[in-house]
Copies of this chain bind each other. A is one copy, B any other.
């Protein structure tokens, strides 16, 4: 167990009045123990109590050879896993449950214990994980360093007119050659009007045309930590409108970044970028939140959105990714990751945001 992280979790449990909690998310378990266990459909639970006890319920198919600092209770496929867990639960107290614990386990636990006082304790793990420690910030910096190199490679390849799918394959090779494990999300390389769909799925058919915008939204996982970056370039030429929109979006990105420092609300950061885009007349074409928190997962709790009134704090890492999407025409998005510092933020992505026309 990572003592410092466990200490912060226990403190947060006490602060929120949750005496026991079922941690089931492999990401949270990795965060605390340093070990990835992917149990598939089988039950995996780290039961934490405010007395500091940590019991790991894990199927024998995933043998634990190292000392994780947990007491391990081994399950097998012939057991009712929740039945093994239930006696360790204090039935007279609130039970905290990880946000993604599947209903089949939760309903079974209700049936076995009669307890219905459950709380979603992901606010606890999410809150602790939201503030990255030094080790994590170093790993996030490294993941984004690799991503900066990768986006340069992608932009360099634009004139090759590869299919979006082929670009994705080269991207994965590029990441792996630098020691990254995998994509942090399915990469988007969207040509022309495809870039006007913010959730466009890369396909195998689209071909690049002169005057197209190219939205490249990519990220990798390196040493388990995610990067996420978007650059938009133009192929051969850019129309006046494309240039205008590009500059608006890039400046909105900068205005968002400028706003970041401890104590500022997420919604104020969103507003800094959104108000600017609105003032330029493109507000209705910026159709999503400004950003999202990121770390061990590409999307973590802590939206940079108009409805999130929480304040940002030192160590938080999130994206600043304004976009303008003109349906059927083109799209522009410019995204960086930032880590909140004592009095502002550090932009993890160093790759240029100057208007770029690729020949």
Contacts and interface: CB of A to CB of B under 8 A. Distances in A.
Contact of A118 (B110, B122, B198, B199): B110
B100 A120 contact: no
Nearest to A62: B199
Contacts of A104: 99-100, 120, 122
Interface in A178-218: 198-199
Interface string A71-108: 00000011000000000000000000111111110111
Contact of A77 (B40, B62, B103, B305): B305
A61 B106 contact: no
A291 to B, nearest CB: 12
Contact of A103 (B40, B106, B299, B307): B106
Contacts of A289: 77
Interface in A105-125: 106-108, 110, 116, 118-120, 122
A33 interface: no
Contacts of A78: 305-307
A288 interface: yes
Nearest to A199: B61
Given A108-B120, A118-B107, A299-B41, A99 B99 contact: no
Contacts of A288: 61, 77
A300 to B, nearest CB: 9
A198 B62 CA distance: 10
A303 interface: yes
A98 B303 CA distance: 27
A321 to B, nearest CB: 14
Contacts of A116: 110, 116
A108 B120 CA distance: 8
Interface string A32-46: 000000001100000
Closest 8 A/B residue pairs (Cβ)? A99-B104, A101-B103, A100-B102, A116-B116, A97-B103, A104-B120, A107-B120, A78-B307
Interface of A: 40-41, 61-62, 77-78, 97-104, 106-108, 110, 116, 118-120, 122, 198-199, 288-289, 299, 303, 305-307
